[in-house]
Amino acid sequence: MSIEKHLEALKAKHEALDLEIEQEANRPLPDQVLISNLKKQKLKLKEEIEQITAAE
């Protein structure tokens, strides 16, 4: 897989997590543990994206 394709996939996952966090937060009784875990995953993806873009 090329770096560009990998970067696109990471960005897509990052956006999907953002949407999932928003949906969970807007539920009547949001699961705060789930939201926290999703935010951690999102942060890891952001860091990986930043490493890849910095290396280019």
Task: Report the domain count for the chain.
Answer: 1
**pLDDT tens track, the chain, 56 positions:** 699 999 999 999 999 999 999 999 999 999 999 999 999 999 999 999 999 999 87
Range of the domain at 51: 3-55
The burial class, CB within 10 Å (0-12 / 13-18 / 19+), for 38 is: buried
Q: Where are the alpha helices (DSSP H) in 1-56?
A: 3-25, 32-55
Euclidean distance between CA atoms 41 and 23, whole angstroms? 16
Euclidean distance between CA atoms 21 and 5, whole angstroms? 24
**Does the global pTM surpass 0.85?**
yes
